[in-house]
Amino acid sequence: MADEAPVKSKVFTLASGPGAKVTPEPMTLVIFGASGDLARRKLVPAVYGLWQDGQLPPLFSLVAFARHPKSDEAFRGEMREAVAKFSRGRTVDAKAWEAFAERVHYRVGDYDDPAAFRALGAQLDRQAAEEHRPANALFYLATPPQTFPLVVRRLGEAGLSRAGAQAPPWSRLVIEKPFGSDLSSARALNEEVLRVFDERQVFRIDHYLGKETVQNILVLRFANSIFEPIWNQKYVDHVQITVAESGGVEQRGPYYDHAGALRDIVQNHMMQLVCLVAMESPLSLAADAVRDEKAKVLRALRPIPAACVPEGLVRAQYAAAEARGKRVRGYLEEDGVAPGSVTETYVAMKVLIDNWRWAGVPFYLRTGKRLAARLTEIAIHFKPIPQVLFGAPGRGPVEPNVLAMRIQSNEGITLRFQVNVPGPAMQIEPFQMDFGYAEVFERAAPEAYERLLLDAALGEPTLFTRGDEIEAAWTFLQPILDGVRQCPVRRLPSYPAGSWGPAEADALLEADGRRWSLVRRPAKTA
C-alpha cells in the first residue's frame, strides 16, 4: 500500500486574501538615499526579486535619487553586483536583469534643493506620459533619519504628495526606522509627515512585520480553536521573547552609540511582537481593525516610572572574548563608539499588560548583540500542573508545557509536552513536537522587504505601523529613557561576546522563581 501524501492547507497571507490585488498598478518606485547600504543590500535585491517573480507591473520603473554623481550605467552595474550577492538564493538571470535594468534610472540631487524635486516630478510625469499611464509614485526614504522631515517637505513643495487626491495618480511614502529617537521627536515627525501626506498614504516600515513567521502568529492564534481558549492569564504563566543577534554593531558604530538596544530593537521590533502575541482578535483582517487591536495592547502596558527603572531594567555591553574560534572585539573597541560609552548593547526587562486577558502575566523581553546565536523566539510558558498525580514529589515537579514560535532562523513552531518513557517503571520526560516551515513547504520564505514593498505598492497597510502605534510605543518607552538619563552610570555590566548575556539578566527572572530558556529546534538536514 502506497504511503499517503501529507495533507497541506492553502498558504494564507494577508495581502493575498479575498479580493486583494496580486499585481500593483503601473508605478515608479523612487528610492531616496539609493547609494546607501540599505538600498544595496536589501531594497534593490528585493525589487529585483519581485520583478523576476512577475509580481511587479510591466510598466514599472525605479528612480534612484542620491547626492553622489553617477551615471545610469554605473549604478546599474553596482546594483547587478548587489543582487548577485544579496538576493534570496537567486542567480542573476541575464535576460531578466536586462529587462529590469533598462527600467532603472539614477538621478543626482540634494535633499535640500527644491529644484531637484521639481525635476524629479517632471521626470515622473514624462515617463508616465511616454508609457500612457498615471504617474503613480511610491517614495521610499532610505536616507539618514535626520533628513526625513526635509525630504517630506520638499515632496510637498514640489506637489508630489498628492494628499487628498480622489483619483490617480497616487503617491505613497515609505519611512524606514527609526521613527524618532524619543516621544517628542516621534510626535514632531508624525506632525511633519501628516502636514504633507494623509495617514492612508504613509507606510512606516518595520521589516520584522514582513517575516512570514511573524504573520503566522495571527494564523496560529485565530485559525486554530485549540489555542485561543488557553491564551490568557488563567493558563499562561509567563511569556519570553528573545531577539538575539550574533553580530556586533559592524559599520553602524556611530548610529548605534546614539540609539542603543532600547531604541534600536525594543521600541519597534519587540513592541510589535508583544502586540501580536497579546492582542485581541480583530473584527476583520482589514488593516485598521488589526492595527486598532495592536494599539490597545500598547496603551495597556503598565508604565514603568523613571524612578523604578534602575531596579527593573538590565542594560549591558558585550566585552571582548573568544567566539567561534577567533577573538571578537568588545563594544568599546568598535569603530565609531565613544570612549567610555554607556550605550547598551543588551536589554532585559519585565513588562506587564493591564487588561483582563493578561492581568498578572509577565512578559520577559531580552535582546542583545554578540550573543551565542542569531535567533528570534517567542515562548508561551503555560502554568505548571498541580502537585497531585504527576506533579507530586517523587515524580514531579515536571516541566511545564511550552509553545515556542521561532521567527528566525530555522523558522518553525515547537510544542513541548510530557510523555512516559516505555519501560517497566513510570518515567516522565519532556518531548518536543516540531513543525518547520522549510521542511513542510520545501521552499524559502520570501524576504521581508519583498513582501513589504509589494504591500506598499498595493496600498495594503496591515503590516505597517500606524502613527498612533508609534506614539503609544514611545509613550511606554519614554519614562524608561528618562530613568536611564536621570540615573547615569560610569560603566555598564558586561557579558562575554558569544554568551547569552549578563548574570544580571538571569537574576531578573530568578527573583520571580523563573529562568530564561530557549526551545531548540533541530536544524534541517539534507
pLDDT for position 392? 56
- Residue 453 binned pLDDT confidence (cut-offs 50, 70, 90): very high
User: In terms of pLDDT, which residue wins out, 345 or 5?
Assistant: 345
Statement: residue 1 has pLDDT above 60: no
pLDDT for position 526? 39
Containing H/E element for 218?
A: helix 212-222
Question: Are the CB atoms for 302 and 283 separated by under 8 Å?
Answer: no
- Beta-bridged to residue 61, according to DSSP, are 28
Residue 486: φ, ψ to 5°: -75, -20
- Residue 111 is classified by DSSP as T
Statement: residue 345 has pLDDT above 60: yes
> Is 68 among the catalytic positions?
no
Condensed to tens digits (0 to 9), the pLDDT of residues 264-293 reads: 999 999 999 999 999 999 999 899 999 999
Number of DSSP helices (H) and strands (E) in the chain, helices first: 16, 17
Statement: residue 56 has pLDDT above 90: yes
37-41 mean pLDDT: 92
User: In terms of pLDDT, which residue wins out, 64 or 11?
Assistant: 64
Per residue, what are the HEC states of 250-301?
CCCHHHHHHHHHHHHHHHHHHHHHHHHHHCCCCCCCCHHHHHHHHHHHHHHE
Statement: residue 30 has pLDDT above 90: yes
% residues pLDDT > 90 (the chain): 70
CA dihedral 176, 182, 184, 186 (to 10 degrees): 10
Distance from C-alpha of 133 to C-alpha of 144, rounded to nearest angstrom: 32
pLDDT for position 491? 93
Can you give the C-alpha Rg of the chain in angstroms?
25
Taking every pair of C-alpha atoms in the chain, what is the biggest distance, in angstroms?
Answer: 85
Statement: residue 48 has pLDDT above 60: yes
Statement: residue 312 has pLDDT above 50: yes
Question: Are the CB atoms for 465 and 441 separated by under 8 Å?
Answer: no
- Residue type, position 80, single letter: R
Condensed to tens digits (0 to 9), the pLDDT of residues 154-202 reads: 999 999 999 877 678 999 999 998 899 999 999 999 999 999 999 999 9
- Average pLDDT taken over every residue of the chain: 89
pLDDT for position 94? 85
Statement: residue 18 has pLDDT above 60: no
pLDDT for position 425? 72
121-146 burial string, b = 16+ CB within 10 Å, else e?
eebbeebbeeeebebbbbbbbbbebe
**CB < 8 Å & 24+ apart, contacts of 88-97:** 88/45, 88/49, 88/444, 88/446, 88/447, 88/450, 89/444, 90/49, 90/52, 93/52, 96/51, 96/52, 97/48
Q: Which of 207, 238, 269, 381 is flagged as catalytic?
A: 269
Contacts of residue 269, defined as CB under 8 A and 6 or more positions apart, other chains included, come to 206, 208, 243, 367
At the second CATH level, the architecture of 209-381+442-447+471-510 is 2-Layer Sandwich (3.30)
Phi-psi bin for 479: left (phi > 0), alpha (psi -120 to 50), beta? alpha
450-477 mean pLDDT: 94
Distance from C-alpha of 330 to C-alpha of 441, rounded to nearest angstrom: 40
The answer to whether the pTM exceeds 0.85 is yes
- Which residue matches cell numbers 503598565? 302
pLDDT for position 127? 93
Contacts of residue 481, defined as CB under 8 A and 6 or more positions apart, other chains included, come to 182, 262, 263
Statement: residue 443 has pLDDT above 70: no
Condensed to tens digits (0 to 9), the pLDDT of residues 401-418 reads: 999 999 888 888 999 888
Cell of 210: 514582513
7-11, 47-51, 120-124: lowest mean pLDDT where?
7-11
Phi-psi bin for 501: left (phi > 0), alpha (psi -120 to 50), beta? left
Question: Are the CB atoms for 363 and 278 separated by under 8 Å?
Answer: yes
Distance from C-alpha of 351 to C-alpha of 445, rounded to nearest angstrom: 31
Assigned fold of 14-176: Rossmann fold (3.40.50)
% residues pLDDT > 70 (the chain): 91
Statement: residue 393 has pLDDT above 70: no
Distance from C-alpha of 107 to C-alpha of 116, rounded to nearest angstrom: 9
pLDDT for position 395? 59
Domain boundaries, given as residue ranges, for the chain = 14-176, 209-381+442-447+471-510
Cell of 106: 539614477
pLDDT for position 522? 53
pLDDT for position 7? 39
Contacts of residue 115, defined as CB under 8 A and 6 or more positions apart, other chains included, come to none
162-166, 213-217, 279-283, 364-368: lowest mean pLDDT where?
162-166
Residue 68: φ, ψ to 5°: -85, 125
The string of DSSP letters for 421-477 reads: PSSSS--EEEEEEEEEHHHHH-SPPPPHHHHHHHHHHHT--TTSB-HHHHHHHHHHH
Contacts of residue 273, defined as CB under 8 A and 6 or more positions apart, other chains included, come to 208, 214, 241, 243, 376, 378, 407
Residue 359: φ, ψ to 5°: -55, 120
The string of DSSP letters for 365-418 reads: EEEESSBSS-EEEEEEEEPPPPSSGGGSBTTBPPPPPEEEEEEESS-EEEEEEE
**Which of these, 442, 447, 398, 388, lies nearest to 419 by C-alpha position?**
398
